[in-house]
Amino acid sequence: MKTLIINIKELLQVRDSSILKVSGAEMAILPTIKNAYLVIQNGLISDFGSMDDLPNINPEKCIDADGKMVLPSWCDSHTHIVYAGNREQEFVDRINGLTYEEIANRGGGILNSAKKLNEATEEEIYDQSKNRLEEVMRIGTGAVEIKSGYGLTVDGELKMLRVIQRLAQNYPITIKATFLGAHAFPLEYAANHKGYIDLIINEMLPEIAKNKLADYIDAFCETGYFTVEETEQIMEAGIKYGLKPKIHVNQFNSIGGIQAGIKYKAISVDHLEIMKPEDIESLKNTETMPVALPSCSYFLSIPYTPAREMIAAGLPLALATDYNPGSTPSGNMNFVVATACIKMKMTPEEAINAATLNGAYAMGISETHGSITIGKKANLIITKPIPSYYQLPYAFGSNLIDTVIIEGKIFA
């Protein structure tokens, strides 16, 4: 079964299979082929090149992409799309002057979502979450990481992870699951942090590992949430069960979470709105991918990750949505790419690299996703006819996606 795409105005992010991430000055380079073709076979990219060298094949399906761009679909390496209900009231409370922190201190925030999640049935959560997943697939996301963390009970966390597993079984999109039991301390453990950490380590983790429900272990390392020491304990326990760390750090305060993540070889450290010079320094020459979440900065009106400083220091950077009910009720990677350009002063090339190849790296799938490379998954975006790829971040409110292909098939 071969599908041929012809007359592609520009094929973006063409890479050799040895390139698994791009850092520093390399991020400014987006290799492309103008006037290109691409062949898909068995769900994978099997060939591509210039239209001048179009091979003589007999495809089952031919797509004419005249005037359109083709690029790898977005790799969204940080989301919380499995949740119940919404937090619209907190949104309005913030408009009326309360801060995210004040809302959390009143028992809102993550605990509000945890209450809703524990009250909802697994079926209800699945139905709400699948709608969000389909929504992001239609706007170009071809791989997604999804976290637990709104259960905060043994049953609730397992329920969330089973929903993630079911989504992965029922949809062609690649899904990585992250266990985030250490998202917040439930009220009954407010004065007994050790008790909750024991619950995570002794009851949640063994059950999750036994049922192979997670790939990564996460913790919200932040003032008022998990200390660096607690985060290290959680990472260490996760590693014992084969889960690689991938953690929330530096959202509101720089307290040493980045250094802890590096110490435990985290695949990524995410948020990074508040960065001290030593945080940037620590990330140099490590395998840990820094991940920025600009729509969270936008929604909460908090600082944006200092992308320019980080790239100037030679670091790589990935972009993700953080889709969740509290800090980022949006899973739109197109908006993330545009916001990174507009607010973080990333160039279109840097933002596209960060949202494809580096995003894939941040969820451990850059050998199979994130670039136009022979043998990688045919997870592709075909744009509407546009003058150049600058249009993607420039026309930030427009839907410029014509067709989404996941594992070689058009996703409608």
Cα dihedral 175, 20, 238, 150 sign: negative
State which of positions 202-241 bind ligand NIG (CB under 6 A). Answer: 220
326 binds ligand NIG (CB under 6 A): yes
331 binds ligand NIG (CB under 6 A): no
As annotated, the binding site includes 78, 80, 87, 150, 183, 248, 251, 322, 324, 326-327
Q: Which of 21, 116, 248, 369 binds ligand NIG (CB under 6 A)?
A: 248
CB closest to Fe ion, residue no: 322
322 binds Fe ion (CB under 5 A): yes
The minimum distance between CB 351 and ligand NIG, in angstroms, equals: 20
Q: State which residue, 279 or 322, has the beta carbon closest to Fe ion.
A: 322
User: How many whole angstroms separate alpha carbon 309 and alpha carbon 292?
Assistant: 13
Other beta carbons less than 10 A from residue 127's beta carbon = 12
Q: State which residue, 196 or 411, has the beta carbon closest to ligand NIG.
A: 196
Q: Which of 4, 33, 219, 296 binds ligand NIG (CB under 6 A)?
A: 296
Q: State which residue, 325 or 348, has the beta carbon closest to ligand NIG.
A: 325
Q: Do the beta carbons of residue 133 and residue 174 sit within 8 Å?
A: no
Q: State which residue, 149 or 256, has the beta carbon closest to Fe ion.
A: 149
Q: Which of 325, 331, 364, 393 binds ligand NIG (CB under 6 A)?
A: 325
- Residues 6+ away with beta carbon under 8 Å from 153: 114, 118, 186
- Residues 6+ away with beta carbon under 8 Å from 224: 101, 104, 105
As annotated, the binding site for N-formimidoyl-L-glutamate includes 150, 324, 326
- Residues 6+ away with beta carbon under 8 Å from 41: 1, 2, 3, 408
- Measured CA angle at 39 (ends 34, 45), to 5 deg: 100
Parallel, antiparallel or unpaired: strands 380-385 and 401-406 = antiparallel
State which of positions 101-120 bind ligand NIG (CB under 6 A). Answer: 109-110, 113
SS3 341: helix
- Binding stretches for ligand NIG (CB under 6 A): 109-110, 113, 220, 248, 251, 296, 322, 324-327
- Binding stretches for Fe ion (CB under 5 A): 322
